[in-house]
Copies of this chain bind each other. A is one copy, B any other.
Amino acid sequence: MDALFNLENICVVLVESQGPRNIGSVCRAMKNFGLRDLRLVNPQTDHLSHGARQMAVKATDLLEDARIYASLADALHDCVTAFGTTRRFGKYREDMLLPDEAATMALPLSTDGPIALVFGREDSGLHTAELDLCQHFVTIPTDEALPSMNLAQAVALCLYELRRAQGKIQIADNGKALAGVQNMEKMYAHMEESLMSCGFLNPQNPDHIMRAFRRIFARAGLDDREVRILHGLWSQIDTLNDQLPVSSDG
């Protein structure tokens, strides 16, 4: 499978992380979703310790390859743009993105160079001066009863959305999963014929209803199996039609 947008061009930046196990868990999540570039800004713990390796499981290679920086500005030196994660709204409110929106925005930008996804401290997140180094702001919608997420889980959610966005864009672009246009048109032709002969479509204006169905199926994006199921339904209607007594004006 050719990745149209290479997630390896997206880096995860952890600012002053305190827990070695969190850093290890982040590595595992990164490898789960096809990322490789981990950058640690002034880590407050040994990121190569036993706990970190234990949580990284088969992603210790990412842990060992992680680069250390003294400041967030240093870590972002070669990045095209940076997405900062925060639960603090304030002056960033208007620009706040949900993870799926951020992913859809980040992917196409990643063809121009590294894109950074920046996560703050476990207890106090990113400081204002650090958020000022970011061009976009991401927040994960959580419950008021306990809004603060585990660091590695927050990273995993954002990477999952990147992967989802990548999948969508790939499916759209190389047409593997979705039924091709020819198959869809064949299905629509069958549908129109069946629905016309059973009297559901108005012969004066069949397009009116057909267009509504075209919109529904276009929004859904059908795969081959789903197209076959629809053919089956139209064939069943054909069978019913064939069993009907011939009408007197037929």
Q: Which residues of A contact B (CB under 8 A)?
A: 21, 25, 28-29, 31-34, 55, 57-59, 94, 100, 140-143, 145-150, 152-153, 156-157, 160, 163-164, 167, 195, 198-200, 209, 212-213, 215-217, 219-222, 225-226, 229, 232-233, 236-237, 239-241, 243-245
CA distance A232 to B195 in the complex (A): 11
Task: Tell me what chain A mostly uses at the interface: helix, strand, loop, or mixed.
Answer: helix
A150 and B55 contact, CB distance less than 8 A = yes
* Option from B150, B199, B244 in Cβ contact (under 8 Å) with A236: B199
CB contact under 8 A between A216 and B220, given known A32-B147, A58-B146: yes
Select from chain B the residue with minimum beta-carbon distance to A149: B32
CB contact under 8 A between A140 and B160, given known A146-B59, A244-B240: yes
What are the 5 tightest A-B residue pairs by CB atom distance, in nearest-first order?
Answer: A220-B220, A31-B146, A219-B220, A153-B156, A34-B143
CB contact under 8 A between A209 and B229, given known A33-B142, A149-B29, A219-B221: yes
A212 and B240 contact, CB distance less than 8 A = no
A25 and B150 contact, CB distance less than 8 A = yes
One complex includes copies of this chain to the number of 2
CA distance A237 to B238 in the complex (A): 11
* Option from B21, B59, B100, B241 in Cβ contact (under 8 Å) with A240: B241
CB contact under 8 A between A150 and B150, given known A143-B32, A240-B244: no
Select from chain B the residue with minimum beta-carbon distance to A98: B164
Q: Which residues of B contact A240 (CB under 8 A)?
A: 198, 237, 240-241, 244
CA distance A23 to B245 in the complex (A): 65
* Option from B31, B148, B219 in Cβ contact (under 8 Å) with A143: B31
B153 and A29 contact, CB distance less than 8 A = yes
Q: How far is the CB of A104 from chain B (nearest CB, A)?
A: 12
Q: Which residues of B contact A57 (CB under 8 A)?
A: 146, 148
Having A100-B164, A216-B220, A237-B240, one finds 14 other A-B pairs with CB under 8 Å, namely A28-B153, A29-B153, A32-B146, A55-B150, A57-B148, A149-B156, A150-B152, A156-B157, A157-B160, A199-B236, A200-B233, A212-B226, A219-B220, A240-B244
* Option from B21, B31, B145, B220 in Cβ contact (under 8 Å) with A34: B145
Q: How far is the CB of A172 from chain B (nearest CB, A)?
A: 14
